[in-house]
Amino acid sequence: MLWKVATFNVNGVRARLDRLLAWISEQHPHVLCLQETKCQDAVFPRQALEALGYEVLVKGEKSFNGVAVLTQETPESVVMETGDPLLDREARFLAVQVQGVWVINTYVPQGRSPDDPAFQYKLDFLNQVGRWIQERFSPQDLLIWTGDINVAPEAIDVYDPKRLEGEVGFHPEERAKLKEIMAWGLVDLLRRLHPQAKQFTFWDYRLPKSFDRNLGWRLDHMLVTEPMAHRCAECFVDTGPRGQSKPSDHTPVVAVFDMSSLS
Amino acid sequence: MLWKVATFNVNGVRARLDRLLAWISEQHPHVLCLQETKCQDAVFPRQALEALGYEVLVKGEKSFNGVAVLTQETPESVVMETGDPLLDREARFLAVQVQGVWVINTYVPQGRSPDDPAFQYKLDFLNQVGRWIQERFSPQDLLIWTGDINVAPEAIDVYDPKRLEGEVGFHPEERAKLKEIMAWGLVDLLRRLHPQAKQFTFWDYRLPKSFDRNLGWRLDHMLVTEPMAHRCAECFVDTGPRGQSKPSDHTPVVAVFDMSSLS
DNA sequence: GTTACAGGGG
DNA sequence: CCCCTGTAAC
């Protein structure tokens, strides 16, 4: 059975609903993780997504952040609150177990600037996501940590590594922290499958023509345990949505797993 | 020569530009009077309209009101300021002489409520428009007073005259004032041509499904001298724009004149 | 640039 | 309901 999981930072789910629905109708992921829904649960466009055959799990707040997980199959488990005050402080973390696989959807704090308290919050948040995973799972479990991780792991993952070195999203402390967490047993799926590909997932609105000039960052990831990596049939960035009118500044990452294959 | 004049309260020319351009491309009026452009002259989308072959005359202010006149032919005369402080106080009055015809474009104050000072301002504004016309022209001149006049002249011009009697836009003082001004020699062109037609030009956003249920008002007019009325080939409300997505709350009124016919 | 919000206005 | 003006955040 081929099983498709995707992540998409929509930058406002209400403002982007028509393009989100169109994209879902193209790709029909079994599981779709959304970030930056930017609305309270009461005004989340739940119905429109349910009409496409999804169960809709939302964790929103007013104006900022907000994550959601859409699943074609009913999850076996749902984690709305981790119990960790840092992870639960804003609407940035939502985990489900579906079809036997744990899917952890995060919207990692952007960090503002390396000298801002928000940067330490980002490092702490990453650290606590790592701890949360490592305390509950083993690297042999079927697990995907996905979402807007807001860290470009390597020089190849930003449009100008020399110029951007040290900026939020490409700061050595973030990269080290991410690497440290992944050393436990998480594979950067896109990079594993496409070792040399410049595949960005984010292009800043504020940089003129950033998408046309491909001045992007790879900030959205599929970080998976080896058993999931072995089952992966493909992993790709779909740049389609970013090229359309009034796009999100991010574009989706999609992974397809063959869940009938041997581990 | 058939000569088409139109009026359209666009409710924000920048927010409505694509639909405005589409409508112009359908109707190609020789003269188009706009109201509620809601922007300063520096940010008025002049180029897009010039690209359609129009000379663009704007009188805007920040955020509110704002009138413009687009002409295919260069006007012989332009009146940007009347010299009357009441008429010039906000961006509500713009007059041009084009193809020998005087076209006076007004966005008459809405009036807020009959007990609000804005209501007296509305009555005074109407009065001064009348005075301005009568001091400069004779009923034998070629003249059109058009725009969002914000008065429904008769019971047939509102969706529920009993319920709306006395409300702004259908208050006896406004109707009397408009009638008094028109008695000088102005013809309500749409009513002259279609004596029984319920032809609304405005449907309130705030009233649920007002357009679908046709709960409208006729507030936008073509008030013309007899020589122009004699030359009129047709006059109609184009409800098309109001039915499209993200419409203005008003829809255009169009008049076609045969300027080669005898008076 | 683009979203969200609040407040004024119709 | 929809526009505009601001502000804040990314």
Q: Which of B107, B121, B220, B221 is catalytic?
A: B107
pLDDT at A262 over 70: no
d(CA B67, CA B77): 17
Length of chain B: 263
User: Per-residue pLDDT averaged across A16-29, rounded?
Assistant: 97
Beta carbons within 10 angstroms of residue B193's beta carbon: 18
Q: Which nucleotide is nearest to A246 (CA to C1')?
A: C2
Under 8 Å CB-to-CB from B231, ≥6 apart: which residues? B257, B258, B259, B261, B263
B213 CB closer than 7 A to any strand D atom? no
Q: For the segment B110-144, what is each residue's pLDDT rounded down to a tens digit?
A: 999 999 999 999 999 999 999 999 999 999 999 99
The percentage of residues in chain B with a pLDDT greater than 70, rounded to a whole number, is 99
SS3 A255: strand
A205 CB closer than 7 A to any strand D atom? yes
d(CA A75, CA B170): 59
In this prediction, residue A152 has a pLDDT band, given cuts at 50, 70 and 90, of very high
B14 CB closer than 7 A to any strand D atom? yes
Summarize the annotated binding site of A for Mg(2+) as residue ranges. 9, 36, 148, 150, 249-250
Under 8 Å CB-to-CB from A238, ≥6 apart: which residues? A23, A27, A251, A252, A253, A254
Chain D: bases < 7 Å from a protein Cβ: 1-6, 9-10
The percentage of residues in chain B with a pLDDT greater than 90, rounded to a whole number, is 99
Write the CATH number for B90. 3.60.10.10
Angle between helical axes of A172-182 and A117-136 (0-180°, round to 10)? 10
Q: Which nucleotide is nearest to A208 (CA to C1')?
A: C1
Calculate the angstrom distance between C1' of D3 and CA of A261.
56
**Range of the structural domain that residue A238 is part of:** 2-261
Residue B136 burial class via C-beta count within 10 angstroms: exposed 0-12, middle 13-18, buried 19 and up: middle
User: Per-residue pLDDT averaged across B2-15, rounded?
Assistant: 98
Beta carbons within 10 angstroms of residue B154's beta carbon: 13
- Find out whether B78 and B58 touch, Cβ atoms under 8 Å: no
For the question of whether the overall pTM of this predicted structure is more than 0.95, the answer is no
User: Is the CA virtual torsion A43, A47, A53, A57 positive or negative?
Assistant: positive
Q: Which nucleotide is nearest to B36 (CA to C1')?
A: D3
User: Per-residue pLDDT averaged across A174-189, rounded?
Assistant: 98
User: What is Dmax (Cα atoms) for chain B?
Assistant: 48
Based on the residue annotation, tell me whether B159 is a catalytic residue of this protein.
Answer: no
pLDDT of residue B95: 98
**Number of structural domains chain A divides into:** 1
Beta carbons within 10 angstroms of residue A160's beta carbon: 10
User: Per-residue pLDDT averaged across B17-38, rounded?
Assistant: 98
Based on the residue annotation, tell me whether A88 is a catalytic residue of this protein.
Answer: no
d(CA B82, CA B226): 24
Based on the residue annotation, tell me whether A107 is a catalytic residue of this protein.
Answer: yes
Q: Which residues pair with B97 in a beta bridge?
A: B77, B102
Taking alpha carbons only, the member of B77, B76, B78 closest to residue B58 is: B78
In this prediction, residue B262 has a pLDDT band, given cuts at 50, 70 and 90, of low
pLDDT at B58 over 60: yes
User: Per-residue pLDDT averaged across A163-171, rounded?
Assistant: 98
pLDDT of residue A261: 65
- Find out whether B157 and B221 touch, Cβ atoms under 8 Å: no
pLDDT of residue B261: 66
B208 CB closer than 7 A to any strand D atom? yes
Q: What angle do CA A46, A48, A53 make, to 5 degrees?
A: 90
